[in-house]
Structure 1
């Protein structure tokens, strides 16, 4: 399974967790199998101007992401992730990408629901 995580430069497991999925520096993509990290790579982020807040949603789906770990997003992209088959989990307290991934693997993250959404734009 491929997990996408909003990240700060330069990405990777040691990178700081990106505060808002649509305004992050880049995405760290982690392949997990049998509860273990198998591969780590990065994807550049895409600007909102090309398709609004749904552009990053479709971009991650096109790159095979099935799980997104996030701390902030609006209701519209959350619904978009649900529509393209990407499950979103709330990892707002994670200091690093690696910590978020480990929490997910350990079953410590809850599904991202409407109560976690913001007004959009990182607010």
Structure 2
């Protein structure tokens, strides 16, 4: 499983999480097998044009992601992630990738409720 965490700095697993996946400067990709972290890679977000969240979805999908953990996402991007089989989870409590990953692996992170997406999309 490859889990993507939007981040603002290239600081690996210790990075603070970015609030919005499309505007994050980096994507921290954590590969987990049998509950064990196998690899952590940080990728520069190539960006997307205003209203072009399909590009952001494709950017994350190109990293081999099957899971995305966010603290906010618009309804349209969420639909696009789900259409390409990328599960989206909601975490607005943990500040760092490490803390968010710990909760995710412990089963404490719920899939995002489509009724709780950001209104600006």
Report the 3-state secondary structure (helix = DSSP H, G, I; strand = E; otherwise coil) of the residue aligned with 1:32: strand
Q: Which residue of 2 aligns with 1:71?
A: 71
Q: Which residue of 2 aligns with 1:49?
A: 49
Q: Which residue of 1 aligns with 2:87?
A: 87
1:8 lines up with 2:8 in the alignment? yes
Q: Which residue of 2 aligns with 1:37?
A: 37
Pick which of 44-53 and 7-16 moved more.
44-53
Deviations 1:26-67 (A, max 9, x none): 000000011111100011112221870111111111221000
1:60 lines up with 2:60 in the alignment? yes
Contact kept, 8 Å, 1:11 with 1:26, in 2: the verdict is no
- When residues 52 and 64 of structure 1 are mapped into structure 2, their CA distance, relative to the original with a 3 A threshold, is same
Deviations 1:68-118 (A, max 9, x none): 000111000000000011000001111101111111100000001213211
Q: Which residue of 2 aligns with 1:21?
A: 21
Gaps of 5+ in 2: none
Q: Which residue of 1 aligns with 2:110?
A: 110
Q: When the two structures are aligned, how many residues end up with a matched partner? A: 121
Report the 3-state secondary structure (helix = DSSP H, G, I; strand = E; otherwise coil) of the residue aligned with 2:48: coil
Q: Give RMSD over aligned pairs.
A: 1.5
